[in-house]
Chain A
Amino acid sequence: MGLKGNAAIVGAAQYRPEKYQTAPRMFHLEQVADLASRALADAGLQADDIDGLVINGPQFHEASVFVPAMAAEYLGLNLNFAEVVDLGGCTSVAMVWRAAMAIEMGLCQAVLCVLPARMAPMGPDEDPAWMARAMRFGGHSTAFGAPEAEFDLPYGHMGQNTGYAMIAQRYAAQYGYDPLAMAKIAVDQRSNALANPEAMFFGKPLSAEEVLASKMVADPLHVLEIVMPVAGGAAVIVASKELAAKARHRGALIKGFGEHLSFKSPTYAADMTRTPIGPAAARAFAMAGIKPADVDAAQIYDCYTITVLLTLEDAGFAPKGEGMRWVREHDLTWRGNFPMNTHGGQLSFGQAGSAGGMSQVIEAFTQISGRAGERQLKGCDTVFVSGTGGVMSEQGALILQGA
């Protein structure tokens, strides 16, 4: 079943996370071209090696339809495979396996996966109110006939924070809750960010006391358990084994993947505390022929601390309902016995929109290719990566292995 592991991530690039106010404004096409050329240089391949493209459709500034064709034209690419992914924070992981699948099926040999996430310059006729209007309801649709517009928004159910908070409350009622263990997730990741000069919170240590003293946003989530949205953008190049052999760095073979989704609002989940990463990770591990205990590191999508906790449990790293004890008993830093989100995670690296999840993919590649600097793990061959979109709505998993 699934992939044979004949495609690898061979190059990557990402903008250093920055505050929106100070980040350069660039057209998304320009960001795509810039990120693509940086990723290509990192891979050491030629532009005409690239014959596949996976790109975001939603939130692409210069077009809402025909995005791949416009980007191909702008880049000067001849494509044998083009794809748009619309899976929120799961997009990055989903892009990588789609690229690998297309390569293994013989459709193409090298795929650019790219997510521009800096803001674009404002046109003379553009209405600044448009942006504010779009932001008002976060990821919630206000379209006539959209169930969430009709059944969520009038009650104040909107955005992500309260959905994740309600999942955490349900978890607390079922299994108990230890705020200190949740704070430890943020603190261990910050410890990792202190070894990553690219991270938003590099040079800013954090204690569990500070997390627990930070403002409560929606019980039981404190503001320091929630990612900070930043400007950024990321690209990776996935290539066939043959091309990967010519690349500059050790590639990260895509050995397994899984994806699962069945709702937008977790209210309609069969069980709110059994998240879609369960079946997604099970498939990924089975495809790769390994067990959770076999990984050298885990890069776990971390929009909230509760996302990490539930992923640790449902992906099979920690027993169900015992995640908090498990977190207390493990050192999640790059020095520790379960290196996780070794770049700081999005909580401490910054979350550049849907490119945020690519930071986890890129960190896995960086560790596998031995270029993680101070935080480099010894003998990092096998890495688990997860992606999460919506409110634990859509989740995906990758197993990456050094070539």
Chain B
Amino acid sequence: MSTNKPMPVPTEISAPFWEGLKAGRVSIPRCNSCGHWIFYPRRHCDKCWSHDVAWHDVSGEGSLYTYTLTRIPTLPDFADEMPQALAVVELDEGVRINTTLIGLAEDEIRVGMRLKPVFERVRDDGTTLLRFTGIDKTIDLSPADEVAAEPAPAAPSVTKVPVSDEAAMRALVSETFTAWSNEVVVDQALIDEFARLSGDDYWIHTDPDKARKMGPFGGTIAHGALVQVLQSRMKIPLGFEVTGFTNMVNYGSDRLRFPSPVPAGARIQARARVKSVEKMKSGTQLILEVHTHVVGAERPSVINDLVILYM
């Protein structure tokens, strides 16, 4: 998960709500004068203006008032949640809460459906968000999800193409991209390591606090060059293997672009297509157009037209 996602900053007024979530409880204020339930938390009743209010634990169960599925992330940092299932949930006490649904397939979501709370710890400091799922669902939030090395996708059938077979080589050219590679997490530790190696320690990459306050992205972002070289960690299911050459040279890049940033903590993946195959004096030149994306993001973070020379 991108570490640049906005996080709640509890106030003196709201702290009991957020503390409750950490303990797996939904706690909201209620007016002692008129009985009105209050959300978000306030020190007064937004119905009768009494200041005689008290916190109560509630079941957290309710129904779906409305929702939307986003097809473009509301912020690049939410690309890993695509489609975001943004929802308004009406608790049985009558208050409504802006939240997200998890653990539901798109076609399972219905306005009016019964929901129960899910307490998701999103920060090491214990910060917990209140999400919702179907009343009969079981959600496993054990933190094994994204850090665990993801098994590489099952190796696709690989066609061997002799470099001498010009027609077969040219037939590799395609408008269609391959399936996605495995995913790689670009966390702050990796970015810091690259900053040390490359000497590029500009604050937008290395100073999370300053980047959050002064940068345009809400936090640090990976170096474009880092995301580019991480290509080596991503196994792209090309579906072919060129054979019969004596030497294969990485001849550089015809085009290298960084169209969108990779926020610290994001997962990335890559896909590719063969853009061109050309017979040269020195051998056969293949251009592989590699696109690296933040998982779920439509816009690539790196476009690299990689030039490979088979001699």
Among A131, A158, A267, the residue within 8 A (CB) of B74 is: A158
Contact status B216-A157, CB under 8 Å: no
Q: Considering the complex, give the chain A residue whose CB is closest to the CB of B81.
A: A156
**A151 interface residue, CB < 8 Å from B?**
yes
A44 to B23, CA, bound (A): 69
Question: Which residues from B are CB-within-8-Å of A272?
Answer: 65-66, 88
Instruction: Name the distance in Å between B8's Cβ and chain A's nearest Cβ.
Output: 5
Ranked nearest first, the 4 interchain pairs of A and B with the lowest CB-CB distance are A132-B216, A173-B111, A165-B68, A170-B66
Contact status B100-A155, CB under 8 Å: yes
Contact status B40-A147, CB under 8 Å: yes
B residues 1-54 touching A (CB-CB < 8 Å): 5-11, 14, 40
**A105 interface residue, CB < 8 Å from B?**
no
Q: Given A136-B216, A272-B66 in contact, is the A150-B86 Cβ separation under 8 Å?
A: no
Q: Given A129-B215, A169-B67 in contact, is the A151-B88 Cβ separation under 8 Å?
A: no
List 8 contacting pairs A-B, 8 Å CB cutoff, sorted by A: A129-B214, A133-B218, A156-B75, A156-B86, A166-B67, A215-B71, A265-B98, A267-B98
Contact status A154-B5, CB under 8 Å: yes
Contact status B98-A157, CB under 8 Å: yes
A156 to B74, CA, bound (A): 6
Among A145, A155, A216, the residue within 8 A (CB) of B86 is: A155
Among B9, B65, B74, B215, the residue within 8 A (CB) of A144 is: B9
**A162 interface residue, CB < 8 Å from B?**
yes
Q: Considering the complex, give the chain B residue whose CB is closest to the CB of A167.
A: B66
**A159 interface residue, CB < 8 Å from B?**
yes
**B72 interface residue, CB < 8 Å from A?**
yes
A219 to B134, CA, bound (A): 20
Question: Which residues from A are CB-within-8-Å of B215?
Answer: 129, 133
A268 to B96, CA, bound (A): 7
Question: Which residues from A are CB-within-8-Å of B131?
Answer: 155
Contact status A144-B68, CB under 8 Å: no
B residues 247-270 touching A (CB-CB < 8 Å): none
Q: Considering the complex, give the chain B residue whose CB is closest to the CB of A164.
A: B68
Question: Which residues from B are CB-within-8-Å of A72?
Answer: none
Instruction: Name the distance in Å between A221's Cβ and chain B's nearest Cβ.
Output: 8
Q: Considering the complex, give the chain A residue whose CB is closest to the CB of B71.
A: A216
Contact status A162-B70, CB under 8 Å: yes
**A218 interface residue, CB < 8 Å from B?**
yes
Instruction: Name the distance in Å between A150's Cβ and chain B's nearest Cβ.
Output: 5
| A 309-342 to B, binary, CB cutoff 8 A, 1 in contact else 0 | 0000000000000000000000000000000000
A74 to B166, CA, bound (A): 73
